[in-house]
């Protein structure tokens, strides 16, 4: 054989080897990147947060149960957890986000565990919950939280409880590694607890309830296509009666469908009392100090 017939074969073999090496390199890089993402997500999911103080100045007493049931709804707990738990999100490859059935969780939670879940966004094992809006719930007063705990302890277990918990697939882990899933423990501010509701009550309710979606002075994009306007920009357009109507029905002045605001109004906000709504209105329409 001459070199002329050998040459192309050698070249193509060389090319193939080169291509194999290149592809191998790219696959190794992709694997490394995927491994890096996986490790980053694992680290976030398994991170242990230091447990803060969990004593309540007010004991969860039976006399608080009816108020606790109302507050479990008014603070939005029921909108997410419902009675039997709720799958908030589920998609192949991404995973499943569950607001668990609390009657199933409660036997394993001490009162301090419950306080830490709500105020700090951490589980009894020290890892963080996700999505639960601890940045707003962490300011709930000791009395209000004691009432919610007292109520929760009276709820019988549900036979129809949603089973299984939150579980992340590969795409969900990419989202976690990219910081796109809010970790509740990161949003909580330790040490803001107060025995009673601080004055003014309107400010307290805005910080613990509306703040799950709204800021006072800046619009907030929920990343899902809705922008919750700055409360101080929109509330003054309403009369006191119109504001009550908005919070009770979700119906705005111009009749638009307000999406998540309507759901909140028909759910959590429908459990606010008239004096609470008026306190909110007063706070949101007065000039800031
Ligand atoms: C926006 C929805 C939302 C709201 C509002 C909310 N939660 Fe949650 N909650 C969740 C989700 C989601 C989880 C589970 C998160 C996870 O799996 O990481 C959770 C977890 C918990 C847990 C831990 C349960 C367990 O078995 O690990 C407790 C306790 C809890 N919530 C109580 C409350 C209480 C009390 C309130 C009201 C003061 C409340 N939640 C408001 C979404 C919510
Ligand atoms: C679950 C999230 C959520 C909660 C909780 C929530 N809001 Fe909203 N709210 C929204 C969104 C989103 C909009 C904007 C809807 C739109 O324009 O399509 C909105 C709009 C509004 C508006 C403007 C209505 C208009 O005329 O356009 C007011 C006023 C308002 N909210 C007040 C409140 C107050 C007060 C609270 C607490 C008591 C509250 N909201 C709690 C999500 C929420």
Among 24-33, 64-73, 155-164, top mean pLDDT goes to 64-73
Q: What is the rounded average pLDDT of the residues 169-175?
A: 93
Label residues 183-221 b or e (16+ Cβ within 10 Å = b). Answer: bbbebbeeeebeeebeeebbbbbbbbbbbbbbebeeeee
Which residue's alpha carbon is nearest to atom 28 within ligand 1?
117
Report the C-alpha gap between 137 and 145 in whole angstroms.
Answer: 10
Report the C-alpha gap between 124 and 126 in whole angstroms.
Answer: 5
55 alpha carbon to ligand 1 midpoint, in Å? 19
Ramachandran sector of residue 259 (left: φ over 0; alpha: ψ -120 to 50; beta: rest):
left
Domain parsing of the chain, residue ranges: 32-196, 199-289
Q: Which amino acids bring their CB within 6 angstroms of ligand 1?
A: 75-77, 80-81, 88, 97-100, 102, 105, 114, 117-118, 123, 129-133, 137, 148, 165-166
Structure confidence at residue 287 as a pLDDT band (50, 70, 90): confident
Q: For domain 199-289, give the CATH superfamily.
A: Cytochrome c-like domain (1.10.760.10)
pLDDT of residue 7: 54
pLDDT of residue 249: 95
Which residue's alpha carbon is nearest to atom 23 within ligand 2?
234
Q: Of 289, 79, 256, 272, which is closest to residue 281 (Cα–Cα)?
A: 272
pTM: 0.90
Selected residue with higher pLDDT from 7 and 87: 87
Is the pLDDT at 270 greater than 90? The verdict is yes
Report the C-alpha gap between 83 and 238 in whole angstroms.
Answer: 34
* Peptide bond connecting 200 to the previous residue in cis, omega within 30 degrees of 0: yes
pLDDT per residue over 254-266, tens digit each?
999 999 999 999 9
219 alpha carbon to ligand 2 midpoint, in Å? 10
Q: Which amino acids bring their CB within 6 angstroms of ligand 2?
A: 209-210, 212-214, 226, 228-229, 231, 234-235, 246, 252-253, 258-261, 264, 269, 280
């Amino acid at each position: 054989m001459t070199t002329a017939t050998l040459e192309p074969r050698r070249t193509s073999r060389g090319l193939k080897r080169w291509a194999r090496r290149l592809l191998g390199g790219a696959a190794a890089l992709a694997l490394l990147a995927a491994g890096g993402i996986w490790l980053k997500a694992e680290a976030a999911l398994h991170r242990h947060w230091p447990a803060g103080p969990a004593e309540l100045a007010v004991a969860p007493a039976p006399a608080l149960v009816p108020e606790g049931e109302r507050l479990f709804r008014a603070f939005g707990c029921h909108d997410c957890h419902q009675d039997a738990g709720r799958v908030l999100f589920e998609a192949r490859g991404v995973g499943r986000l569950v607001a668990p059935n609390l009657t199933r969780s409660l036997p394993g939670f001490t009162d301090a565990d419950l306080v830490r879940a709500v105020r700090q966004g951490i589980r009894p094992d020290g890892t963080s919950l996700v999505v639960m809006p601890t940045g707003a719930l962490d300011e709930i007063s000791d009395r209000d939280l004691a009432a919610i705990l007292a109520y929760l302890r009276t709820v019988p277990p549900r036979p129809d409880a949603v089973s299984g918990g939150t579980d992340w697939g590969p795409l969900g882990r990419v989202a976690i590694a990219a910081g796109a899933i809010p970790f509740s423990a990161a949003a909580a501010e330790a040490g803001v607890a107060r025995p009673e509701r601080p004055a003014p009550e309107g400010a307290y309710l805005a910080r613990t309830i509306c703040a799950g979606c709204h800021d006072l002075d800046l619009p907030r994009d929920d990343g899902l296509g809705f922008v919750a306007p700055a409360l101080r920009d929109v509330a003054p357009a309403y009369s006191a009666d119109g504001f009550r109507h908005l919070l009770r029905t979700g119906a705005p002045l111009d009749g638009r469908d307000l999406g998540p605001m309507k759901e909140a109004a028909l759910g959590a906000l429908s459990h606010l009392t008239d004096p609470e709504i008026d306190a909110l209105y007063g706070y949101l329409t007065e000039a800031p100090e």
